[in-house]
Structure 1
Amino acid sequence: MFERYQGKVNYWLTFNEINMATFLPQISIGSKAEAGENQEEIMYQALHHQFVASALATKAARAIDPENRIGCMIAYAPVYPLSAKPEDVWSAQRKEEEKLFFSDVHARGYYPPSKLAYFATKGINVAFEQGDEEILAAHTVDFISFSYYASSAASFAQSGVPGEGNALMGEKNPYLAESEWGWQVDPLGLRVALNTFHSRYQLPLMVVENGLGAVDEIVDGQIHDDYRISYLRDHVKAMRDAIVLDGVDLVAYTSWGCIDLVSAGTGEMAKRYGYIYVDRNNDGSGSLDRLKKDSFYWYQKAIASNGEDLD
């Protein structure tokens, strides 16, 4: 692929949302432990192979075209402590480190001491082949990319009121509104995320997924999705603040997604993210006709003005 698109494509991601293996190992890495096997060890061994493969892909990309830039991609939701209790703060910090482990290996080229200590405590043995450490260290990524939909919260003593989004959501945050699928809407959380990555790595950043899944209704041949426009506007403003006020090196943004499609998280067509409506229902019925939503015209104007015109 690097040869096929040489001179045409210069920005590459190796594994999409690589950290989802910790939440959905069967889907993400095809990992299914048999009785008596250590699922975590199997998962981390598979992830190690992905880390090495990513580093080797980075090496190959640069050899083929020195203009190529390679990045990692993780699913990210910043973790807030549910309260000011030290135990909750500690729990949030631990969960944050679990997520950043993946970008640490890609960007720094080695396993952080906290993860090695975790392996030792849990009796997890990740086999390194000869040369793996050198490969990881020599071929780190040029930028960090991530998906952001919502923030999460953590408590040392589980409250029993989990967030209803996906596997990243954690505890329900009482200070945030939710989407129809329980995703906690938090534009400021995107600014938090950008600052976290910027402070930790000082690498260019890309937000490569961000959007609102919602039920859309056709009224007189139109879809007035002001709720989606509001979500996107607030998140674009948060990115602008991160760039202008915080000095974050954010180089790209792509929303999810431009056209309605089956949501991977729930397997529903009714959970729509696009600016373009597709006449398709959960049961498979529908004409597949397309219809531009109000958000289509808003986003068209927003990107044409490079985020200056958000009205």
Structure 2
Amino acid sequence: MREIHRAQVQVADAKSLIWAGGELVDVSAGWRPIPLDGSTAPSRFGPYGPQFDAATISPLGDVAVLMATAGTKALVLGPDGTVRREINRSYYHAEAYRYPLTLCTMEDGRTGLVHCPSGYNRLDVEDALTGQLLTTGESPEQADIFHSRLMVPASGRYLLSAGWVWHPWDVVVVYDLQEALTDRSVLDSWRGSFDLTDLSSTEVSGACFAGDDLVVSTSSEDEDEELMRLSLADGGFRWRRQLDRTAGDLLPIAGDILSVHEFPRLYSGEDGELLAEWPDLATGRSGTSIVWDKTFSGPARVAVDEAGRRFAVTDGERVTVIHLG
């Protein structure tokens, strides 16, 4: 894919962008639509609060969540921005790293919410709208992982956490999400459901899914940085690419991979080839889940519309939408 068209509009204090029903929305500003023709549209509500600075929306578009990236509070919203409930995570080092949360579609068609409501190292799955806990039972002990940058593929089969462990060290763990719904201890393992030993020698700067494969970017002072695609089905690498710079956080887009460290770069999902880059669109440093007060960076500045083959980038004053084809 390549850029075939772009739109750019001025939007003061634009952040926490999502695509909702094909429309670009600034959630924290009170569900403010952002028309791409340069016109203005009123917010549906008043601002939710200055602490909220990142948002995500479910694959079905029926639930959105607005988060305080380096805080403990998040709001679960309906498809029109109405607050349905409030949720929390552990205060323990919450000021240091990105809020661990993702939305997914469950086998029964409901939207699931994966987050850490009872401990920084304990993952749970809930019905997103009702809060019904879907991962029940107790485990003897949870692995000492600070979960962050959670993601579930469109199939709903797996869950990845690209968080960190002391000292600190960025890691990636992948779980069998369907198995976890019948045995929650699956979510408490150091290794997860798959042996990712080959990825343990360097820090993980970002991770995402390409279909049901795992794509990982690494960063190391002593070794070359890499982008690689790993088959979870057989444990083998489909391809590995040496990089001349950190790819950082990764987002899937129509079969390809968008890296968002410093500025967006588009890599082929087929072989890892660099397809396009946009150095004029600053996204800030985004090579770790640990962000401290630099929360307005990386995925917090970007909203991907996979169905529309486009993505939006905000710098807080202007919004640029890149259309791909």
- TM superposition score normalised by structure 2: 0.27
Per chain length, whose mean CA-contact separation is higher, i.e. which structure has more relative contact order (CA < 8 Å, sep 6+)? 2
Q: Answer 1 or 2: which has greater helix percent.
A: 1
